[in-house]
Amino acid sequence: MLLVIGNKNYSSWSLRPWIALKVLGIPFDELRIPLYRPGSKERILGYSPAGKVPVLRDGDTVVWDSLAILEYLAERHPQLWPTDRAERAQARAIATQIEVLAEPARFGYLELVERLLACSFVPPDPEEVMTLGHEVMTLARQLGASGVDPVLSWEMSGLIEGEAKWDAALGAYRVGRRYALDRFPLPFVEDLEISRGDGPLASLHLTWREPDRLVFEINVNVPRTRGTIAYEVAHNIYPGDYLHMAILTQRTFALDGRVAACIKLKNAPENVIAEGIEEVAPFRLHPEHGPEEELAWKLEWLRRAACLMAAVRLRGAGESRDEVLQQLQRAGHMSPERAAQELDRIEHPLWGTYLYTYWLGRHLVEEADRRAGSAARRAGYLGWLYGALHLPETFASESTRVLTPSRR
């Protein structure tokens, strides 16, 4: 077995399989070709059809690309990856993230989505998107909005920012907190800070601060309607992301001795179901709600579809930025400012792929909740939903296993 590599001091791709072979104790021959010298490219092409290092030659088999080499080695030496399925998928996602951050154009959009999230990409169903669009348009007109785009007119007339937004967000937080402490069947201890933030990509969100602080940041400079604020708070705090994290840290993985920052990695497979939990959080918190809330929440779902398809068009099909901006404004009923904000997310090498978690995750969790029926409010089901790391490809079968005893 021959491993052809570049300079170890600055070819980190070469070090990946080299370290793996050393750690596993696999005998191999090493050939180092100094990079960026006269004749380097020609020498590498003698071993690698791609003209890049590293490349592994094992008999007649030639494997290039560091991750492909690791997967090839793992077939013979399974201990290369974690034995636990969720941890193994997470480890692969971490490896891919490192490559993307170092070389953003390394993967195509759909390939990157599938690598990071360990699932097949299925685009939004056009009929479903059309039905959702019709629903929000009907609600906007029922609420008295008119004009060329009644949905956008309704939203623009109700936007708040500054102290009004701060007060609305804190009010929504208190409502969610009462639910989590009084009605949610799993006990936990709140350890959360609340502050003002100015991140350009977020209206409000939950974020980590070293070493182990969780902070609810509210950007009062990004205008939102009161219904959208309620959606975002439920999504990010109660009964969404923060409650999910609290259950994981305090009830599940604390028993394994894991630190909180290792539990839920952005752009890893477990975040598909995590975002599904967050997308349905407003409806879990407020099963009875008015048309203003219904419109605001369903509009955000419609915008998820618009942003996802915009990502495919921009990063997959190569459409222009202007074309995609127009599509976001039209399909997502967005102002130019909101469309530009969403496009900034789409263009980010990792945030853009994360968009798929919202769409797929919501559908998976909605279906599990529907099948659970009244059990969806009980400790057994919610303990499983909030208290484990789920893979999208196995979530449906796991939900069947969990729900079967509850129906006896």
Structural domain span for residue 370:
126-406
Find the largest Cα–Cα distance for the chain.
75
CA distance 53 to 25: 21
- Concatenated DSSP letters for 24-88? HT---EEEE--SSSTTHHHHHHTT-TTS-S-EEEETTEEEESHHHHHHHHHHH-GGGS-SSHHHH
Residues 131 and 206 in one domain: yes
Q: Which SS3 state, helix, strand or coil, does residue 160 take?
A: strand
Residues 64 and 135 in one domain: no
Residues 76 and 130 in one domain: no
Q: Looking at the domain assignment, is residue 98 inside a domain?
A: no
Residues 243 and 377 in one domain: yes
Residues 131 and 243 in one domain: yes
Structure tokens at 170: 């804190």
Q: How far is CA 2 from CA 28, 54, 71, in A?
A: 6, 10, 16
Q: Looking at the domain assignment, is residue 272 inside a domain?
A: yes
Residues 74 and 137 in one domain: no
Q: Look at the chain and report how many structural domains it folds into.
A: 2
Q: Looking at the domain assignment, is residue 114 inside a domain?
A: no
- pTM attached to this predicted model: 0.82
Q: Looking at the domain assignment, is residue 113 inside a domain?
A: no
Residues 11 and 158 in one domain: no
User: Where a domain ends, among 50, 80, 110?
Assistant: 80
Q: Looking at the domain assignment, is residue 249 inside a domain?
A: yes
Per-residue pLDDT of the chain (408 residues; tens, 9 = 90+): 999 998 877 677 788 899 999 988 999 999 999 888 898 989 999 998 888 889 999 999 999 888 889 999 999 898 888 888 877 887 888 788 777 777 777 788 998 899 888 899 999 999 999 999 999 999 999 999 999 999 999 999 999 999 999 999 999 999 999 999 999 999 999 999 999 988 777 899 998 887 778 899 999 999 999 999 999 999 999 999 999 989 988 888 777 665 554 545 566 788 899 999 999 999 999 999 999 999 999 999 999 999 999 999 999 889 999 999 999 999 999 999 999 999 998 998 778 888 999 999 999 999 999 999 999 999 999 999 999 878 899 999 999 888 886 544
Residues 168 and 73 in one domain: no
Residues 58 and 192 in one domain: no
User: Where a domain ends, among 80, 111, 145?
Assistant: 80
Residues 237 and 333 in one domain: yes
Strand-by-strand arrangement of the 193-196 sheet: 193-196, 213-218, 204-209
CATH code of the domain covering residue 29:
3.40.30.10
Residues 260 and 155 in one domain: yes
Q: Looking at the domain assignment, is residue 116 inside a domain?
A: no
Residues 225 and 346 in one domain: yes
